[in-house]
Chain A
Amino acid sequence: MKKELKCHIGIGPKVEGVALVADDNFSARYDLDRIKGLFSRPQHQLFGKSYKDVILVLNTAKGGVATAWMLYEMTSRKIAPKAILFNKANTILAQGAALAEMAMVDRFEDGDVTKLIKTGDHLIVCPDDGKVVFC
């Protein structure tokens, strides 16, 4: 297994944590119960799972612009992921990460990040260097 994945330079601080992975898309408004810190959309592959303090690994963003504020609001209550990794982020998620000071990276050189990383993998995310390291 590779010890390190290269990606595009991202946003936010270097963080360490455990991955929660799904080949699914993401919107804080559409998919989350932000009070409980759970995925609440029944059709989402992570339905019922807690996102608190994990490194989310997902395909891409979907839906509206609310997530930009919501990441900040979630972080302020400390019920938020440590980082989000995408195959392709959209502008809203990047803007939200910038305000929330949350780590976010995308565009992995080796292909589909939802296949390269498995739930439970221990990772260090380095947005400034454009890399994710397996611990």
Chain B
Amino acid sequence: MKLNDEEKAMLAGDFGPAVKWAIDHQLQVGRMFDAKDMVAVSQSHMMADPESLGEAGIAFTEKIAETGIKVRIPMITDPRGVDLNYYQSLGQTENMANLERRFIAACKNMGITMTNTCINYQTIMPPVFGEHVAFGDTGVVIYSNSVCGARSNFEGGPSALAAGLTGRTPRYGLHLDNKRIPTKRFRILDQPQDLMDWGVLGAAIGRMAGSYWEVPIIEEVEKTPTSDQLKHFGAAMASYGSVPLFHLVGVTPESQNVEDADGADLEIINVDMDATSDLKKPFAAVGEHVDVVVFAAPQLSIIEMAELAALCSGRHRSNATDVIVCTSAQVYGDAVSMGYVDKIEAFGGRVLVGTCFYQQYAREIGEANGWKRLLSNSAKIVNILGGYGYQPALASMEACIASAEKGRIIS
């Protein structure tokens, strides 16, 4: 890879051992993906929950921080794994909380802003068209690339940290024009209605797209979707297919029409009700009891909090069913002042702040609380939690609340 003088100095150790580690890490990755040089990035966003990090990852981060290094660009964080105001009741241990505390301290010492959110594009500072960034969390990346027209690869925690320390990232993948051209063309035959439908549609396309290096272009969506609908659409597509970018014709900025996006010559793949029904089939469990209903993945926007509060109003969950809601600190303040949190708590729900359910030692909290059958309107979360010992099921937000009220799954 071609390095400029500053980058050569970083590699030589002139900026200290942390920066030397960072650029060496980036060069290894860049070499694997044939990067020719580095590109400056304006923001970094790091996914790093303590379950993923473990003792080893925490110690690694502390070692970097102990060098006294500060990040060179604005750097923010994905949801935490422990809500330090509510963890013992959730079945999380003091050891888990201490890992979290150590990680937060290390990040703050490096000048990282603890936003703890996977919806920074709705609440913090959305990237602008053409802006090169180094974002973690697949949902953040796919939304930023597709809806905002920004440029980011999936940057895992270590690479996002490296980008924060060097202010750049290897120029490969989604930073290049030719990697953003559509490779598969989909036509929607059944229009999605609610958030769950958008998630299922995204999941079905993600599964058919098949890899990180495919770029779906999607046409014949009749109504312009909302930010929340695109959030669930993208998060599920990234979850099922590892896809970091989609083009929605007439909606997203790089595809005002199929021809402009260079997708006109691609064979059309119809996405019909069979495709979405097939995807939902493993997550159908109507009539069965439900242990926990979860609203998360991604964290809820203020609009989702309002919708949920309205559904909860005047009702109460079954004693056999817990309800967990995950949102960001930025949304939580508004949700409190608007009375949404009160309504959700009066229903018997618990609102967790700055966390996301699947990043919270999902296996351990499931075992501690006896949660097996989990219901959610997030196509992403039901895809993840099977491996954590849950029996996940999928339903609309309305059906999730009705199911929590009855203690069994209602269609």
Measured CB to CB, the residues of A under 8 A from B are 8-11, 25, 29-33, 40-44, 60-70, 72-73, 75-77, 88-92, 94-96, 98-99, 104
Chain B: CB-nearest residue to A107: B32
- Asked if B54 lies at the interface with its beta carbon under 8 angstroms from chain A, I say yes
A133 to B301, CA, bound (A): 51
- B31 A92 Cβ-Cβ under 8 A: no
Residues of B in contact with A, size category: 35 or more
By DSSP majority rule, is chain B's interface helix, strand, loop, or mixed?
Answer: helix
8 Å CB contact of B386 from A25, A43, A75: A43
Known: A11-B32, A60-B211. A95 touches B52 (CB 8 A): no
Q: Which of B233-241, B315-323, B347-355 has 4 or more CB atoms under 8 Å from chain A?
A: B233-241
Contact B56 A65 (CB under 8 A): no
Verify A91–B211 contact, CB threshold 8 A. no
Counting chain A CB atoms within 10 Å of each CB, the highest count among B33, B159, B241 belongs to B159
Scoring B residues 23 to 46 as 1 if CB is less than 8 Å from chain A, else 0, what string do you get? 001001101110000000000000
Q: Measured between C-beta atoms, what is the minimum distance from A21 to chain B in Å?
A: 18
User: Chain A residues with Cβ under 8 A from B192's Cβ?
Assistant: none
When chains A and B are docked, how far (Å) is the Cα of A9 from the Cα of B153?
20
Which listed residue, B33, B52, B210, touches A70 by the CB 8 Å rule? B52
B→A interface (CB under 8 Å): 25, 28-29, 31-33, 47-49, 52-57, 60, 136-138, 153-159, 173, 210-213, 238-242, 282, 358-359, 363, 383-384, 386-389
A34 to B: closest C-beta gap in Å = 8
Chain B residue with Cβ nearest A96: B156
The answer on a CB contact under 8 Å between A60 and B32 is no
Contact partners of B389 in chain A: CB under 8 A: 40
Complex CA distance for A11 and B282, rounded to whole angstroms: 36
Query: Is A65 a contact of B138 with CB atoms below 8 Å?
Result: yes
Q: Which 4 A-B pairs have the closest CB atoms?
A: A68-B156, A76-B56, A73-B54, A90-B212
Chain B residue with the shortest CB-CB distance to A44: B387
A99 to B60, CA, bound (A): 10
| Complex contact B242–A60 (CB within 8 A) | yes
Q: Quick check: A66 and B154 within 8 Å, CB to CB? A: no
Which residue of A40, A60, A66 contacts B47 across the interface (Cβ within 8 Å)?
A: A66
Specify which chain B residues have a CB less than 8 angstroms from the CB of A8 in the assembled complex.
32
Pairs across A and B, CB under 8 Å, 11 listed:
A44-B387, A61-B211, A65-B155, A66-B52, A66-B359, A69-B48, A72-B56, A88-B211, A91-B159, A92-B154, A99-B158
Highest count of chain B CB atoms <10 Å: which of A32, A69, A73: A69
Q: Give the shortest distance, in Å, between B362 (CB) and chain A (any CB).
A: 9
User: Which single member of A10, A25, A68 contacts B158 (CB below 8 Å)?
Assistant: A68
Shortest B154–chain A CB gap in Å is 5
- On whether A91 and B173 interact (CB within 8 A), knowing A63-B138, A64-B137, the answer reads yes
Whole-angstrom distance between the Cβ of A128 and the nearest chain B Cβ: 10
Q: Are A98 and B29 in contact (CB under 8 A)?
A: yes
B60→A72 contact, CB < 8 A = yes
Docked Cα-Cα span, A91 to B386, in Å, equals 24
Inter-chain contacts of A89 with B (CB < 8 A): 32
Q: Chain A residues near B363 (CB, 8 Å)?
A: 33
Please tell me if the beta carbons of B384 and A29 are within 8 angstroms of each other in the complex.
Answer: yes
- Asked if A62 and B155 sit within 8 Å, CB to CB, the answer is no
Q: Is the CB of A68 within 8 A of B159?
A: yes
Minimum CB–CB distance from A14 to chain B (whole Å) comes to: 15
Query: B157 contacts which chain A residues (CB < 8 A)?
Result: 65-66, 68-69
- Residue of A with least CB distance to B364: A35
Q: Is the Cβ of B238 less than 8 Å from the Cβ of A64?
A: yes
A43 to B25, CA, bound (A): 34
